[in-house]
Structure 1
Amino acid sequence: MLRLGTVLLLLCFALPFAASAVEWEVDRLEIESSDGNRHVFNIELAVTPEQRAQGLMHRESLAEDWGMLFLHRRDQVLSMWMRNTLIPLDMLFIDRRGRIVRIAERTTPMSERAITSGRPARAVLEVPGGTVERLGISKGDRVIYSAFE
Structure 2
Amino acid sequence: MSVVSQLMHSPSEDHMGAVMRILRHLKVTPGKGLMFCKYGHTYVEGYMDADWAGSVTDRRSTSGYFTFVGGNLVTWRSKKQKMVCRSSAEVEYRGMAQGVCELLWLRRLLRDLGFGPQKPMDLYCDNKAAITIAHNPVQHDRTKHVEVD
Q: Which bracket does the TM-score occupy, shorter chain normalised?
A: under 0.3
Considering only CA atoms, is the larger Rg found in Structure 1 or Structure 2?
Answer: 2
- Hey, which of these two has a bigger chunk of strand by percent? 1
- Hey, which of these two has a bigger chunk of helix by percent? 2
Give the TM-score taking structure 2 as reference length: 0.23
Higher relative contact order (CA 8 A, sep 6+): 1
